[in-house]
Amino acid sequence: MSAPCPVFGFEARAETRPIDDEDRRELWRALEAEFLEPRGLTARSLAFGRVVSFAVTSEASQATDADRTALEAWARGRPEIIAFDIGPLLDFAAVA
């Protein structure tokens, strides 16, 4: 039996200023359209409220440190995000 292929990704956490649920959904749609889709990444929401927590992976390849850096830059440009934290690259296949 062979070991599963690694699935490198990372977790991110964004704290938003007080916004309503529709604005929060719009922020998630912007994340998908402006960051995830162009880079071939997907995100799974882990928490959705004033603190948005999500795991980022790629179905076609692997998430990279360059993706982490790009996400940080994207988040800095969003006025509704007041704090942002990105975890290290992890092998989600090994964690499962």
- Residue 73 zone, left/alpha/beta (φ > 0; ψ -120 to 50; rest): alpha
2-57 pLDDT per residue, tens: 666 888 899 999 999 998 889 988 999 999 999 999 999 999 887 767 888 999 99
Other CB atoms within a 10 A radius of the CB of residue 23 amount to: 13
Report H helices in 1-96: 21-30, 37-39, 65-76, 92-95
Please indicate whether residue 78 or residue 3 has the higher confidence score (pLDDT). 78
Q: What angle do CA 32, 37, 39 make, to 5 degrees?
A: 120
| pTM attached to this predicted model | 0.85
Longest Cα–Cα distance of the chain, Å, equals: 50
Instruction: Give the pLDDT confidence score for residue 9 in this predicted structure.
Output: 93
pLDDT at 16: 92
The confidence score (pLDDT) of residue 49 equals 76
The secondary structure element, H or E, covering residue 51 is strand 51-58
What is residue 95's predicted lDDT score, i.e. its pLDDT? 65
